[in-house]
Amino acid sequence: MKRSSQQEPNTTVENVKIRADWDSKFHKNYTGYRPLDKGTAVVDTINLPRTDKERKNFFNQYVDARKPCKILGISPQNFPKDKLKPDRIADYLPSDEILTVETKKDGGFGSGAKRIKMTFGQFMSKLNREGEHGLYLTTQYYEDDPNTVNSTAETDEEEKDQVLSDGDDSVTFQDMHDDFEQLEEAQEEENTEDYEEFEMRLKELYQPPMTNLIKMLPETPEFLNYLIPQQINIWIGATSTVYNEDSDSSWLSRFDPGDEKLGLGRNIPGGGSSSGLHHDHADNVYIPVSGRKRFTLFAPSDAAKMYTVGNIREIYHSGVIDYIPDSRAPAWRQLRDDGAILAEVYKFLLESSNDHELSDEERESYKKLIEADEIQSEREPLSELDPPSFSKIPPSVVHTDKIKDETIRNKILKVASERWPLFESSNRLTVELEPGEMLYLPAGWFHEVTSFGDSSKNNDVHVAVNYWFVPPTGHDIDNVYDQKDRYWLKDFELTKRALNWARNEEEI
């Protein structure tokens, strides 16, 4: 079979040459901001945009320019930061809700890590009372939903019988179901489908256990109210606030130049726990609540230098990165520049054909792609693989400057330059983020996030919330989604109906 021009070459010499060609192509395709200074630069820092003029300037200088930015201040204005602190959060989020939690793997976290089930109360108890550092609460994926039959997460049976009782006064989704005046209508046969659709959309937007905050937390920060929100997530873990040099020496001693990750796993020098180097397919606003975060950023134009797990098909001007569905990404579904799955857009166009003039040729073409996508989406991803958007480069290589042992640092640098030769020529941005601040990060920007506890309070637990938005494709604040089919705008109309219903503002 002929190899795609974007697939991983076989030899080191071929690798360097072809990747250099990819690098040149990606730099031309991506028209957004990229750091030009060699070495490391610091992201812009601005005050929270509050006036219409400031919001428009923010759109022009950062959103449209695809440029990361640190923001002093928090939005939404009524963001419940005090209620999400480690010592209070169990009072506002349901302690008996069963969630899937990542376990530490090779010294860090990432989507390839094993996920287990436990209640939110058990999880917080392990962090707050037992000093557990090997668990991390992240995005709740549908296939891991404890309420679905196709869940792949493992259940800790011993934990299951130890449900904590604190937080019983919080509002679960079932409570919401019982309290709404529209419940009787929702139970009627003609409305059941609407109710199920609303519930699904609310859980997709406010990821559990954040679903409990629908009435409290706005779905969009005020200064970005022109973007369409996709998900609101909470991230909770624990990392020692005291640096342990012996711990670094222990895992660094396992350095193995023949190992895929150099024997270093996901460990991070200098303390903290790492997310692994990766990118997202949505615009991001990141808000620390407790502890602090260190972001190391690389522009989408440097994607060839990031040595992703997947083979890249295309990088759009928006920063969205699409992959080739192959052995490195067996279940991948093709994306377009606003992050929409192409097959889903085609289904939407065919189902709303009265609103869109389609030729017979277009209809047949759309149907063929949808059929191919259905086959593709049913393929099982390889369990040992990280998602295609993750880099093969270990976090310790991103932060070799934090390795104190000069001998081992030089050994790692030597092997890294041979295995990932383009990485050392990439330009990076860094930002330290603390409570009271936010980071705006456009789609496609690679980032390694190191989490730390709150050293000022000697509290190892770190909590953060983030918003993911549909990446904009237009260049006007009044028309940020310039797709003629209005796919995302139409889709969000139903989500807004679900939000109005959940907030008792609309009947089904």
SS3 label, residue 284: strand
CB 295 within 8 A of CB 447: yes
Question: How does strand 283-290 pair with strand 461-469?
Answer: antiparallel
pLDDT value, residue 242: 81
Confidence of residue 463 (pLDDT cuts 50, 70, 90): very high
For 242-248, what is the mean pLDDT? 83
Residues whose CB falls within 8 Å of the CB of residue 460, separated by 6 or more in sequence, listed in order: 127, 131, 133, 238, 239, 240, 241, 453, 454
Among 186-200, 255-269, 291-305, 388-402, name the one with the lowest average pLDDT.
186-200
C-alpha pair distances (Å), 351 with each of 332, 355, 363, 489: 23, 9, 11, 16
pLDDT value, residue 177: 44
pLDDT value, residue 173: 45
C-alpha pair distances (Å), 322 with each of 41, 47, 129, 345: 27, 33, 43, 15
DSSP string, 12-68: HHHHHHHHHHHHHHHHHH--S----SSSEEE-EEEEPP-SHHHHHHHIIIIITTT--
Residue type (1 letter), 427: N
Kind and range of the H or E run holding 247? helix 245-252
pLDDT value, residue 244: 80
- Smallest CA-to-CA distance from 93 within 162, 156, 169, 204 is with 169
197 vs 13: CA distance, rounded Å? 52
For 473-501, what is the mean pLDDT? 93
Q: Which residue has the higher pLDDT, 456 or 120?
A: 120
- Smallest CA-to-CA distance from 135 within 104, 90, 173, 95 is with 104
pLDDT value, residue 192: 61
pLDDT-above-70 percentage for the chain: 83
pLDDT-above-90 percentage for the chain: 65
Confidence of residue 253 (pLDDT cuts 50, 70, 90): very high
Confidence of residue 156 (pLDDT cuts 50, 70, 90): very low
Burial class (CB in 10 A: 0-12, 13-18, 19+), 344: middle
Confidence of residue 193 (pLDDT cuts 50, 70, 90): low
273 vs 450: CA distance, rounded Å? 5
For 37-50, what is the mean pLDDT? 87
pLDDT value, residue 64: 97
The domain defined by 82-297+426-502 carries CATH number 2.60.120: yes
Confidence of residue 7 (pLDDT cuts 50, 70, 90): low
Which tens digits make up the pLDDT trace of 82-114?
A: 999 999 998 899 999 999 999 988 888 875 567
**Does 143 score more than 60 pLDDT?**
no
For 354-361, what is the mean pLDDT? 79
CB 225 within 8 A of CB 63: no
Confidence of residue 190 (pLDDT cuts 50, 70, 90): very low
In this structure, the chain runs to a length of: 508
Among 170-184, 397-411, 457-471, name the one with the lowest average pLDDT.
170-184
For 241-267, what is the mean pLDDT? 90
108 bridge partner residues: 105
**Does 145 score more than 80 pLDDT?**
no
Confidence of residue 181 (pLDDT cuts 50, 70, 90): very low
**Does 125 score more than 80 pLDDT?**
yes
Confidence of residue 162 (pLDDT cuts 50, 70, 90): very low
**Does 189 score more than 60 pLDDT?**
no
**Does 184 score more than 70 pLDDT?**
no
199 vs 494: CA distance, rounded Å? 11
Return the C-alpha torsion angle 174, 175, 176, 182, nearest 10.
90
208 bridge partner residues: none
Report the mean per-residue pLDDT for the chain. Answer: 85
CA 245 to the chain's CA centroid: 30
Q: Which residue has the higher pLDDT, 18 or 127?
A: 127
Name the residue ranges covered by the structural domains of the chain.
Answer: 82-297+426-502
Residues whose CB falls within 8 Å of the CB of residue 189, separated by 6 or more in sequence, listed in order: none
For 25-45, what is the mean pLDDT? 85
Among 115-119, 207-211, 383-387, name the one with the lowest average pLDDT.
383-387
C-alpha pair distances (Å), 325 with each of 57, 153, 381: 39, 24, 11
88 vs 93: CA distance, rounded Å? 9
69 vs 241: CA distance, rounded Å? 26
Among 164-168, 188-192, 326-330, 501-505, name the one with the lowest average pLDDT.
164-168
Which tens digits make up the pLDDT trace of 265-308?
A: 999 999 999 989 999 999 999 999 999 999 999 999 999 999 99
Which tens digits make up the pLDDT trace of 366-387?
A: 999 999 888 877 776 656 678 9
322 vs 481: CA distance, rounded Å? 19
pLDDT value, residue 250: 92
Which tens digits make up the pLDDT trace of 213-241?
A: 999 999 999 999 999 999 999 999 999 88
**Does 348 score more than 50 pLDDT?**
yes
Q: Which residue has the higher pLDDT, 232 or 185?
A: 232
pLDDT value, residue 345: 94
